[in-house]
Amino acid sequence: MDGRDSCTLVVRKPCFGLPTACPSCLPAYIYLKFAQIPFQLDFNLTYPDSDQIPYFEAGDYVAYQNENGGVVECLKRDGIVDLDTEFYSLPEWISTKVMVSSWLAEALIYELWLGTDVSSAQKIYCSDLPFPIGKALFLKQVHSVKQQLGITRDNAELKEEEIYRRADIAYGALSTRLGEQNYLDSSPSSLDAIFLAHALITLQALPETSVLRGKLLQYDNLVRYADKLKTELIEAGSSLASAPHFQSDSSASTPRRGPSNSKTKNKPKGQKTEEEKTFKRRARYFVAAQLVSLFLFLSFLGGVNDAEVELDDNGYDD
């Protein structure tokens, strides 16, 4: 990547006092802030269920969230910026990162989509869509999260207990590891980016009645860590990212497809490739296609009520 290239990170919209409250997007934002890479922030409002978001662009380079472990891993693997070099040989650092990426990630998506108050997830992902589409996509995601976490009617209570027990263990281990340091290790790494994003979303996006939020608040040093870094990276450090741009129409907000190795778009600026022209034509049919697919999905849900899917008005089990 040429140092003169303009960098752009495309994420889901800002809310709850955060540049983005999406659990997939905020770690990439924080990682770039830790790396002190200037970048422009763009927001995609049209595709709440896209697994390509976030994505990062710099000149001819593109890295998507659904490629090779996500945006941060792509940036490390492709030599753009790697904050973890000195930690790869530390087994404890690796195991801690796995714990945060699994136990705490699962606890957060459980709270967002299946907790007692799911309004935060609706605001983060669906509030900019027309009601029928937003509601249907929300219910689709609830169903997907249940499958991802292996939750059924029969094991829902046990799964909930296990999720919160693991989260409490993770918070305790992280609190001990952090102590009174500024970071979870001697310098900021992707581990800090992942956990800081988790902590900020948990503290600011989840309701006061949240069980997960209550557990995190029990660890004063973790809360101080989140508050301090939020001030440094998001509030005082806002000059690292230029003014945000919103992408609202379907053709402008469709993530541009890069090749599988997250590289090149070999074309002069302002000249559209055949692939982009095709994408633009297809974007005109996005709403109709989404409506058809959501109708089919809801028809499917209606036919499997006896197969573990019980959704109340809020989209979760009683």
User: Within 13 Å and on the Cβ side, how many CA atoms surround 316?
Assistant: 20
**What does the pLDDT read at residue 132?**
86
242 touches 40 (CB < 8 A): yes
Q: Are 22 and 14 in contact (CB under 8 A)?
A: no
pLDDT of residue 240: 39
Quote the mean pLDDT of the chain: 82
Question: Is the CB of residue 196 less than 8 Å from the CB of residue 205?
Answer: no
Residue 258 near residue 56, CB atoms below 8 Å: no
Quick one: angle between helices 220-230 and 190-204, nearest 10?
Answer: 100
* 250 vs 48: CA distance, rounded Å: 12
Q: What is the pLDDT of residue 317?
A: 46
pTM: 0.77
**β-strands 39-44, 241-247: how paired?**
parallel
pLDDT per position in the chain (318 positions), as tens?
A: 555 568 999 999 999 999 999 999 999 999 999 999 999 999 998 787 789 999 999 999 999 999 989 999 999 999 999 999 999 999 999 999 999 999 999 999 999 999 989 999 999 998 888 888 889 999 999 999 999 999 999 999 999 999 999 999 999 999 999 999 999 999 999 999 999 999 999 999 999 999 999 999 999 999 999 999 999 999 875 543 444 444 444 333 334 443 344 443 443 444 445 544 444 554 444 545 555 555 555 555 555 444 444 444 444 444
Report yes or no: 27 and 193 within 8 Å, Cβ to Cβ. Answer: yes
Query: How many C-beta neighbours within 10 Å does residue 30 have?
Result: 25
Predicted confidence (pLDDT) per residue in 44-84, tens digit: 987 877 899 999 999 999 999 999 899 999 999 999 999 99
Per-residue pLDDT tens digits for 103-118: 999 999 999 999 989 9
Q: What is the pLDDT of residue 297?
A: 54
